[in-house]
Structure 1
């Protein structure tokens, strides 16, 4: 890392500190030459500002200039005062007041020589930093971030595309999901964000706490590559899960991303089974619909479906999650999450039935009623459905259908004749209701 103190040791420059001698450890990231009286809009953090003080005419002129350097986080001011007989006290006082290191440039030294020497020093430091970072290539992500942060003199983080902090060297100055959103929308912000290399269902990002010079950007890109390699070769550490736990079943329709998505959503979860588009994991805390909606635009999958069991012995929980996933598959929407606790028992049972069996049940139980509706252009199937959902109450069903109760009784009697069942008997009601639920259409 190149610091202000490093510049004092460069051969031939003969720079002399005039203020801020206790601040010489500040990192220098680039050099900027200016004669503007207020260069604030053009400055970046870590810059060595080089000026011949042509903007200074009288006491008071230094205040806005040096204040702009301080606001921008400039590393130091290197100034030559040859035309005015040396650096004015006004400039020295302003640098002391704003805590900006001030280096005096010899009158016979060309700015081009200073620029060349500083650029070479920065390039050499950048190459050394890259080599030091590469030497830690086999280290965990946390170690890579610590090394990079020390070289950049800025905090660093690895963020998941889902808005999770994977690792970091300091508290993130904003919610991680906001940092990811800004990156995706190409919005400027206080962080510099770069993609981590690698092909994963859920991408990772490198975030650095500030604007970067060209050399710093190259180092951050090196970090992104190393983190990508580390991620690719690492085996997720699974947290021990008790025999009784929740099981999450996740399906990414049209892609084989389910395993990666589950591991990203539930770090540490115990992966039980994975068959490409569908994976199962035991976990203490299942994913939310919001989390899945966040990741959905990042995936190739046409839909994301999720079934979640209640806490139960693992094998029982896996079967329950599988059936809850089947219920999710029959619902509409690009992201569907079905907790088993929100699904009626008969729905879980039907969810496990193959499509062929469901169709056979529909035809065997409801066939005559379906044929009658088709021939007579009636809707007795709907009438029966409402009647059963009103717990077999003619009064409630008639009110729901906006018909007279006698009309309702007639229709139910006719439906009973066609079905060969007594729709006032619980067993027959159960058979017909299951057949009605089994005939529900899949989502389009």
Structure 2
């Protein structure tokens, strides 16, 4: 019950003296006191009634109201029966400490105020408590009969007058009658809230995660329910807990990883990656619901922990969920898992900027990654017979994106320079050994002597071996650059005056 409800109770005829901006505060209970400092007997959100017996001077008003404010009461309702007024010093103290003050009419007893307010509070709690078991039965029955979440949310709205929606972290509305205002903003609030449930500023909605203990926030669904959860009685919180559990069940039911369609999807991706013949791939495409005569783009995605951090918190199954949610609309894509990599085959017309669409969506999801980094590569648009090459192209692009260090990095096929494509096709262990043999001696020397040999080498190559421009860029004398280059050559046994050795160093630096 909110304070403004007091003004709408004709039997009480309360008048607001100060605190008009605080009328959305909630009343939890009613307490009558005439102690000068009643703080020890208050626990917060009470409507305090007082006849001001404690007041002997203006200074007492400050003591009394300060105690109420510290206890977190919702408001004070008072009347001085002896003097027949509300003292100005009391009104001033309430305004200073932001404690709303109501005047109780002389002919209205405090017992009447208490009775009417408590009746309202108890009635609301009893109504919720009486209906909770029946609602539970009907909610569960609706889902188990396959009716989906729509009828469940309609039931909650009809019984409680509380509208609810189920949304994804991209702002897509899964269920609910009519979209809420600005679902994209609600999704941002859900991803960035320091704790849940959360009430976004300027709204009358509370956001609840569906499966916070088992699912990363960026891969979860969430509930948006009308009302401020901080004001709800325990019974209503219990109902929302039931509702989130039911939504989690429906979400699991719709997850195709364990279904026949999901197994077909995984099998199709494995066939494509293994280089199976077109006559094996085409029937599998059709079984998953895709048109074998259509054009496709391949997407490769991995999740990695930020540099120096623990292992990625986004599990492979959650990465698959995020990728499916982020892929552009239209015909549903095929998304399969290969160890910790998610691979998608996306129906696409030539010229469509799938990479750009993916990047924009995933950037919006980035606050929910919790420090993880997403690296993705997107291939050119190809026919079904060319899917194997498209997947390899997407994987090469993804390896390039992994080295950029951004929270979300998406590389298109046309960003693959010739040498990058060549490096991406080399086995990881060979790439690692090539880089270690050339650069580790310089890295070890830098760590011991703070010589900046690696920086000098990179700058020297960026300026095509120009001593003068390298020196200017590093703010060094040319002789200092010559000395450093000579030291690099001594440590590595290479000759930076030759094109062959310059190319080797350039490629090693691109791998680091």
Aligned to 2:380: 311
Please give the per-residue CA displacement for 1:337-368, whole angstroms capped at 9, x wherever unaligned: 24245565434543554554234324666799
1:192 shift after superposition: 3.2
CA distance in 1, matches of 2:244, 2:421: 45
* Cα distance in structure 2, aligned partners of 1:159 and 1:118: 29
1:410/1:147 Cα in 2 relative to 1: closer, same or farther (>3 Å)? same
Aligned partners of 2:462, 2:315: CA distance in 1, in Å? 39
Sort the Cα spacing of 1:412 and 1:144 in 2 relative to 1 into closer, same or farther, 3 A.
same
Cα separation, 1, equivalents of 2:120 and 2:160: 22
Taking structure 2 as the reference length, the TM-score comes to: 0.52
Aligned positions of 1:215-364 closer than 5 A = 216-236=236-256, 240=290, 243-253=295-305, 254=311, 255=313, 257-267=315-325, 270-275=333-338, 277-283=340-346, 284=354, 285-288=357-360, 290-297=363-370, 303-313=372-382, 314-330=387-403, 332=405, 335-340=407-412, 344-351=417-424, 353-354=426-427, 356-362=429-435
Determine the structure 2 residue equivalent to 1:166.
Answer: 174
3-state SS, counterpart of residue 279 of structure 1: strand
Q: From 4, 7, 12, give the equivalent of 1:35.
A: 12
| Residue ranges of structure 2 left out of the alignment (5+ in a row) | 1-8, 27-114, 262-287, 306-310, 347-353
Q: How many residues align?
A: 338
Give secondary structure in 1 for the equivalent of 2:222: strand
Flag the 1:213–1:38 CA change in 2: closer, same or farther, 3 A: farther
Matches within 5 A, 1:388-427: 388-403=461-476, 423=496, 426-427=499-500
State the partner residue of 1:151.
159
1:177 to 187, 203, 211: 187
| Distance (whole Å) between structure 1 residues aligned to residue 482 and residue 121 of structure 2 | 96
Deviation of 1:157 after TM superposition, in Å, equals: 0.5
- Would you say the 8 A contact 2:441–2:492 is kept in 1? yes
Distance change (3 Å), C-alpha of 1:244 and 1:405: farther
How many Å apart are 1:419 and its aligned residue?
6.8
Structure label with greater radius of gyration: 1
Query: Which stretch of the first structure deviates more once superposed, 375-384 or 342-351?
Result: 375-384
* 8 Å Cα contact 1:193/1:207 also seen in 2: yes
Structure-2 residue corresponding to 1:200: 215
Question: Structure 1: any 5+ residue segments left out of the alignment?
Answer: 1-31, 45-109
Hey, what's the Cα distance between the residues in 2 that align with 1:165 and 1:235? 17
Per the TM alignment, residue 251 of structure 1 is displaced from its structure 2 partner at its CA by 2.0
Write the mapping of 1:61-210 to structure 2, written as runs, cut at 5 A.
125-137=131-143, 138-161=146-169, 163-174=171-182, 175-180=185-190, 181=192, 184=195, 187-188=198-199, 189-197=203-211, 199-201=214-216, 202-210=219-227
DSSP-derived class of the 1:392 partner: coil
Q: Contact 1:252 / 1:278 at 8 angstroms: preserved in 2?
A: no
